[in-house]
Amino acid sequence: MEDDHITSHFTRRDLSLLAQSSPKSALRVITLIDYDCFYAQCESVRLGISSDVPLGVQQWEAIIALNYPARANGLARGISVEEARVKCPNLILQHVPTWREGCASWAYRPVSTIMPGTDKAALGPYRLESRKGLELIKSTLPHSPPQKIEKASVDEMYLDLSAQVHSILLQRYPALLDVESSSKDEMLPLPRTSVLNWHADAVFGADAEDDHFDWDDIALNIGSEIVDNIRREIFKHMRYTCSAGIARNKMLAKLASGYNKPNHQTVILRRGTREFLSTHKFTKIRGLGGLLGTQISEKFNTKMVSELLAIPLSQMKEEMGLEVGAWVFNVIRGEEQSEVNPRMHVQSMLSAKTFVPKIVSIDQAAKWLRIFVADLLGRLDELGSENHRISPTIITLNHHIEGRFGPTRSKQTSVPSSTLITEKMLFNLALGLLTQIVAEEKSWPCRSISLRIAGFQSAPKSNTLISSYFMTNDQFTSLGLSKTSKEDSRKQQTVESLPRVY
Ligand code: CTP
Ligand code: CA
Ligand code: CA
């Protein structure tokens, strides 16, 4: 046969690294799935509004999400309600639900009644949809090999599909099993596949003439099929469309997910990487969006990946430092090995309110403390699982007399671990902290108060002897939570009730 003398670029070692989902595997399959115009879709599906009607989600006077028909009318995120109505008179606007002073739970309310003075935006419904989507995805994937899913924000997740792709690969190409006896470093035989159905809307590198598909292409092809199926399931059960990128690492997968929105998926093959990256400004690359990206564009006087490719490694290291220089050199070539990390990273949660006008009494503050507690408990429930409840061990009240950037007084106390966490119990702790603050010095009028819970622990739901069932550190870590020490509570990732943070 003509291609008998041609071998794959990959070895049996690469194959076993794939089975282990190792970030070092050259055959890795990573995807990033991102919902299209997420809050807007949540609202149009909830309200039963056709997806081709322009719709925006409003928070106060700003629009925080727009569906694609609205974008087609020239609207962009951040635009004011007033301006949007002028540009797109048939735009449907839905305000996010709110917590309200004196009310026990959040609700969707008539927009004319929503005031920053009495209401606080509640993003619970979007978090809930996000969570449902995640459970659905988990149910579409086999349980073994173990699933590797990282929730990266309220509407996107990374999946490392490597191990699953490995099992499918062996089923479909049993000849690969025959190389079991050969040395780890021996090159695999080349796949005898010249036509592939890509299950994707764009594939970078698929049309290279005279080129043979190798095992990395086949692996990504299988990944694309899995992702296509996931997206169909999400649409079938939840009516949400999403876009996805499929590639050999997180950085390429993320960039590819945004290539062809909405409702499309894009695959980046190794040989298509350069072509794909060249079409982008490097500031779009994960990690190069911020200060580092600005420094690079100033140093090299360009924003294009294609121009940076001309900079030799030695010069990159000289200009950017050894480690950063090497990282940048690799990442603009599509090489990056960060892991898909299933841990949730939630170390603390904050619920806050800025008062306009300022509040003047502990009675007024108490109404907001009730809302903070309800908000935080709702989010704690989302973190728990069917069998485990998550409870905080520390509660902190912050009092900002002039707002969050002015002088702050804080009091903190531990949450008793032996009793059930209830609204009443947390509220009493918070009120106790506020009472102490107020007793110390003049505290009114006050611009802002926030309540933080931290030091999360997990306990089985069905047991009454909760304290004896607290998990060990290791069990805790495997759940994706870490015990907070004073040291790392300073660099906590906070989960505030603001848009965009999970
Ligand atoms: N979000 C927000 N404020 C931001 C960024 C995002 O409130 N500064 C919310 C949006 O309302 C959005 C959700 O977080 O619906 C997800 O954000 P993102 O994926 O960036 O935008 P989408 O609206 O989903 O649009 P796209 O189709 O481009 O992904
Ligand atoms: Ca999105
Ligand atoms: Ca997103």
The string of pLDDT tens digits covering residues 136-173 is: 999 999 999 999 999 999 999 999 999 999 999 999 99
Q: What percent of the chain has pLDDT over 90?
A: 72
- Kind and range of the H or E run holding 347: none
DSSP string, 408-461: EEEEEEEPPSSS---HHHHHHHHHHHHHHHHHHS---SEEEEEEEEE--EEEES
Mean pLDDT, to the nearest integer, of 326-342? 95
∠ Cα 336 258 138 (to 5°): 75
Q: What is the model's pLDDT at position 477?
A: 39
339/186: higher pLDDT: 339
Mean pLDDT, to the nearest integer, of 98-116? 92
Q: Token digits for 222?
A: 């299988």
| 132 in Cβ contact with 237 (< 8 Å) | no
3-state helix, strand, coil in the chain (%, to 5): 40, 20, 40
Does the C-beta of 499 come closer than 6 Å to ligand 1? yes
Residues, beta carbon < 5 Å, ion ligand 2 = 34-35, 38, 155
Per the DSSP assignment, residues forming a β-bridge with 100 are 119
Does the C-beta of 154 come closer than 6 Å to ligand 1? yes
Does the C-beta of 217 come closer than 6 Å to ligand 1? no
Query: Is the pLDDT assigned to residue 3 strictly greater than 80?
Result: no
Does the C-beta of 38 come closer than 6 Å to ligand 1? yes
Ligand found nearest the CA of 258: 1
Query: Is the pLDDT assigned to residue 463 strictly greater than 60?
Result: no
Q: State pLDDT tens for residues 342-390.
A: 875 678 999 999 999 999 999 999 999 999 999 999 888 877 766 678 8
Q: What is the model's pLDDT at position 277?
A: 95
Whole-model pTM?
0.85
Q: What is the model's pLDDT at position 339?
A: 95
Q: What is the model's pLDDT at position 177?
A: 78
Distance CA 155, CA 130 (A): 6
Does the C-beta of 43 come closer than 6 Å to ligand 1? no
Q: Token digits for 472?
A: 């060990």
DSSP string, 190-226: PP--------SSEEETTT-TTPPP-HHHHHHHHHHHH
Q: Whose CA is nearest to atom 11 of ligand 1?
A: 65
Measured from the Cβ of residue 161, the count of other Cβ atoms closer than 10 Å reads 28
Closest CA to 101 of 111, 116, 81, 85: 116
Q: In which band, very low, low, confident or very high, does the pLDDT at 499 lie, cut at 50, 70 and 90?
A: very low
| 368 in Cβ contact with 434 (< 8 Å) | no
Query: Is the pLDDT assigned to residue 180 strictly greater than 50?
Result: yes
Q: State pLDDT tens for residues 67-102.
A: 999 999 999 998 999 999 999 999 999 999 999 988
Question: How buried is 231 (Cβ within 10 angstroms: 0-12 exposed, 13-18 middle, 19+ buried)?
Answer: buried
- Measured between its terminal Cα atoms, the distance across the chain in Å is 55
Instruction: Identify which of 500, 501, 502 to mutate to test ligand 1's pocket (most ligand atoms within 8 A of the CB).
Output: 500
Ranked by mean pLDDT, the top range of 179-193, 346-360, 425-439, 484-498 is 425-439
Does the C-beta of 34 come closer than 6 Å to ligand 1? yes
Q: Ligand 1: distance of its center to the CA of 153 in Å?
A: 10
Instruction: Identify which of 60, 155, 234 to mutate to test ligand 1's pocket (most ligand atoms within 8 A of the CB).
Output: 155
| 279 in Cβ contact with 299 (< 8 Å) | no
Q: Token digits for 274?
A: 């350069």
- Kind and range of the H or E run holding 284: none
| 185 in Cβ contact with 1 (< 8 Å) | no
Q: How far lies 203's CA from each of 199, 246, 257, 276, 486, in Å?
A: 9, 9, 12, 9, 48
314/174: higher pLDDT: 314
Does the C-beta of 30 come closer than 6 Å to ligand 1? no
Q: What is the model's pLDDT at position 54?
A: 98
Q: Ligand 1: distance of its center to the CA of 39 in Å?
A: 7
Q: Whose CA is nearest to atom 1 of ligand 1?
A: 500
Mean pLDDT, to the nearest integer, of 438-461? 92
Which ligand 1 atom lies nearest to the CA of residue 156?
19
Q: Whose CA is nearest to atom 14 of ligand 1?
A: 500
Does the C-beta of 36 come closer than 6 Å to ligand 1? yes
